Amino acid sequence: MNIKETSETIQKQIDDLQWAIQEMDSDFKFYRVLIPDMSENPMAIQLFRHEKSKDDQLLHTFKIDFLDLFYYKNLIDFFNNEKSILLSSNAASEQIKELDLLRLNFGI
């Protein structure tokens, strides 16, 4: 395989990953995932919480650098804080499960 073919293979894998992230919330009721610009690296990912009769609330924006996965560090804190908020506010167990699924999808 030459450099061009290797680059094309890597780009396809990144494209597949981006679309998987963008569509991971298709069955979610409480959260939404948005990638505002799929062409940037590091790629920003926004997590929103659905609010009843309000606009969705932006909870966290984090970035994934496809060449440096250490960007994930601040995401662990976000998920821990969000879960604490949900537990202290007696959120629906379905919402907590959805947050846990998001966490799992990001490998945390």
pLDDT at position 73 = 64
Task: Report how far residue 52's alpha carbon sits from residue 84's, in angstroms, rounded to the nearest whole number.
Answer: 20
Number of structural domains (the chain) is 1
Using a cut of 0.75, tell me whether the model's pTM lies above it.
no
Q: Which tokens sit at 3?
A: 């450099």
The yes-or-no verdict on residue 10 having pLDDT over 80 is yes
Write out the E strands in the chain.
31-34, 43-49, 57-64
| Cα separations in angstroms, 59 against 14, 47, 67, 85, 106 | 25, 6, 25, 12, 16
| Position 100 confidence tier, pLDDT thresholds 50, 70, 90 | very high
pLDDT at position 65 = 81
The yes-or-no verdict on residue 71 having pLDDT over 60 is no
Instruction: Determine the average pLDDT of the residues in 91-108.
Output: 90
Instruction: Determine the average pLDDT of the residues in 23-29.
Output: 90
3-state secondary structure of 54: coil
Between CA 15 and CA 24, with CA 21 as vertex, the angle to 5 degrees is 135
Range of the domain at 61: 3-105
| Position 53 confidence tier, pLDDT thresholds 50, 70, 90 | confident
Cβ-based neighbours of 86, under 8 Å, separated by 6 or more: 95, 96, 99
